């Protein structure tokens, strides 16, 4: 009886092995069926521009749900793990003819040389994005670059998708017209303006040339981030100012435009400065000057010391004297006076007079 049972057990084990281990064969068949579906995936089908800096990739998913789709972005620099296809030659004229039919994108597979374009490399071990959706929106910032940007979509799961369906954006030439105008404001400053480029994270550099000393393009005088204007500070009178505006962006070619706007030279204030110091007593003096001949003068600034750094006080536009009290007997003092206009711009006289207070 025991011998019969042993034979039955051996027979059952053999049947399980022949049938795939009790379900293992069914799993293998399902995996092979999924792989067969993946091999039929047609890759990216459409690349459409949805904004000034955003493009949308679209494809038809296979019936199997839950698979991961990888979006790969081509590069002109081959990484160590990239697929290199130097033997593929793409007819650029044919690509251009296909552009209108594909939402402004170039369909590489519509040419005789199907596959990855020559000089474009994809790192298939590192997708830029992964998604379970049938459409994918990806913002790219370099659509105005002088090189096309190419995309490829593969099903990552199971590692059998090797489609080479590539869509590329059409490179657009950067059109920046430089500075357009410089308008004087009510506060005496100037507003520089220009037409922006519709690219995200772009900046504009303002370069200044004062009194024909030349532009230094190694260091901007001012910066504007994604704006189409910049308000200058109040500039000094009597100086000539010219400006150039250039864009800069890490993915764009260097801007070298030389479009220049020069401001009208504001004539300097005419003022001869301090003329005399009269000692009133051991602790006070009177400063004297003649009225400035410029009609724009609204007052006079009094400076104490051998420079014109810190203003001691102010006097009215009609004044020609001012009393300086609370001085220390026996100490020497120096004074200077400058005229200023409604925007705080001063004349540039450097006249300083000194006095020693009596004990």
Asked if residue 218 belongs to a domain, the reply is yes
Closest C-alpha to 73, from 172, 144, 157, 147 = 147
d(CA 299, CA 288) in angstroms, rounded, equals 14
Asked if residue 17 belongs to a domain, the reply is no
Whether 46 and 153 have beta carbons less than 8 Å apart is answered as: no
Asked if residue 347 belongs to a domain, the reply is yes
Domain final residue, candidates 234, 262, 290: 262
119 and 150 share a domain?
yes
Instruction: Domain count for the chain, please give it.
Output: 3
Burial 189-223 (b: 16+ CB within 10 A, else e): ebebbbeebebeebebbbbbbeeeeebeeeebbbe
Asked if residue 309 belongs to a domain, the reply is yes
Residue for token digits 């900046």?
Answer: 203
Asked if residue 252 belongs to a domain, the reply is yes
d(CA 125, CA 128) in angstroms, rounded, equals 10
237 and 190 share a domain?
yes
pLDDT of residue 98: 37
CATH of the domain at 106: 2.60.40
161 and 76 share a domain?
yes
247 and 301 share a domain?
no
160 and 56 share a domain?
yes
d(CA 329, CA 67) in angstroms, rounded, equals 93
pLDDT of residue 136: 72
Domain final residue, candidates 169, 194, 209: 169
d(CA 184, CA 203) in angstroms, rounded, equals 23
d(CA 277, CA 292) in angstroms, rounded, equals 18
Q: What distance lies between CA 270 and its chain's CA centroid?
A: 44
pLDDT of residue 134: 76
Domain final residue, candidates 115, 138, 169: 169
Residue for token digits 């009215």?
Answer: 316
88 and 163 share a domain?
yes
Max CA separation in the chain (angstroms): 141
138 and 96 share a domain?
yes
138 and 54 share a domain?
yes
pLDDT of residue 140: 61
d(CA 277, CA 320) in angstroms, rounded, equals 12
Q: Which residues contact 260 (CB under 8 A, 6 or more apart)?
A: 179, 209, 242, 243, 244
Domain of 306 in residue numbering reads as 274-356
d(CA 16, CA 2) in angstroms, rounded, equals 21
Query: What DSSP string runs through 289-329?
Result: EPPPS-TT--EEEEEESSSSSSEEEEEETT--EEEE--PPT
Q: H or E segment at 97?
A: helix 92-99
222 and 190 share a domain?
yes
d(CA 139, CA 358) in angstroms, rounded, equals 78
pLDDT in tens, the chain (359 residues): 444 443 444 444 444 444 445 556 778 899 999 999 999 999 999 888 877 667 788 899 999 999 999 999 888 777 654 444 433 333 333 333 333 333 333 333 333 335 677 778 888 888 988 988 777 766 665 555 556 788 999 999 999 999 999 988 876 677 889 999 999 998 889 999 999 987 777 899 999 999 999 999 999 999 998 789 999 999 999 899 999 999 988 777 789 999 999 998 889 999 999 999 999 999 999 999 999 999 999 999 999 998 898 888 999 999 999 999 999 999 999 999 999 999 999 999 999 999 999 98
Asked if residue 350 belongs to a domain, the reply is yes
d(CA 23, CA 86) in angstroms, rounded, equals 46
Cα separation values, 225 from 97, 161, 203, Å: 37, 43, 4
147 and 251 share a domain?
no
d(CA 124, CA 280) in angstroms, rounded, equals 90
Tally helices (H) and strands (E) across the chain.
3, 24
Closest C-alpha to 124, from 85, 164, 88, 81 = 81
103 and 146 share a domain?
yes
Asked if residue 151 belongs to a domain, the reply is yes
44 and 157 share a domain?
yes
pLDDT of residue 168: 86
Neighbours of 174 (CB within 10 A): 16
d(CA 119, CA 139) in angstroms, rounded, equals 23
CATH of the domain at 327: 2.60.40.10
Asked if residue 125 belongs to a domain, the reply is yes
């Amino acid at each position: 009886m025991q011998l019969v049972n042993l034979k039955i057990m051996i027979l059952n084990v053999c049947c399980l092995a022949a049938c795939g281990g009790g379900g293992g064969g069914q799993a293998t068949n399902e995996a092979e069926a999924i792989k067969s579906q993946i091999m039929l995936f047609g890759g990216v089908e459409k690349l459409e521009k949805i904004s000034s800096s955003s493009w949308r990739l679209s494809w038809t998913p296979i019936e199997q749900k839950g698979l991961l789709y990888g979006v790969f972005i081509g590069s002109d620099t081959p990484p160590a793990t990239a697929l290199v296809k130097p033997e593929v030659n793409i007819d650029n004229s044919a690509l251009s003819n296909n552009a209108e039919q594909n939402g402004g994108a170039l369909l590489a597979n519509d040419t005789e040389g199907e596959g990855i374009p020559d000089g474009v490399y994809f790192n298939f071990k590192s997708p830029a994005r992964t998604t379970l959706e049938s459409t994918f929106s990806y913002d790219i910032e370099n659509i105005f670059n002088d090189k096309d940007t190419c995309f490829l979509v593969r099903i990552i799961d199971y590692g059998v998708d090797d489609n080479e369906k590539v869509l590329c954006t059409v490179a657009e030439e950067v059109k920046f017209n430089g500075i357009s105008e410089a308008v004087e404001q009510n506060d005496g400053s100037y507003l520089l303006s220009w037409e922006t480029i519709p690219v995200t994270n772009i900046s504009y550099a303002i370069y200044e040339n004062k009194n024909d000393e030349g532009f230094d393009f190694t260091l901007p005088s001012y910066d504007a981030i994604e704006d189409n204007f910049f308000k200058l500070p109040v500039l000094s009178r009597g100086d000539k100012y010219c400006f150039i505006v250039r864009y800069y962006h890490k993915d764009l070619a260097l801007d070298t435009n030389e479009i220049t706007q020069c401001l009208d030279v504001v004539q300097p204030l005419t003022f001869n400065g301090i003329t005399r110091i009269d000692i009133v007593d051991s602790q006070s003096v009177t400063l004297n000057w003649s009225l400035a001949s410029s009609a724009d003068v609204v007052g006079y600034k009094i400076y104490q010391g051998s420079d014109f750094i810190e203003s001691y006080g102010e006097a009215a536009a009609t004044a020609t004297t001012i009393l300086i009290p609370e001085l220390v007997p026996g100490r020497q003092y120096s004074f200077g006076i400058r005229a200023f206009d409604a925007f705080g711009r001063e004349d540039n006289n450097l006249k300083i007079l000194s006095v020693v207070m009596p004990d």
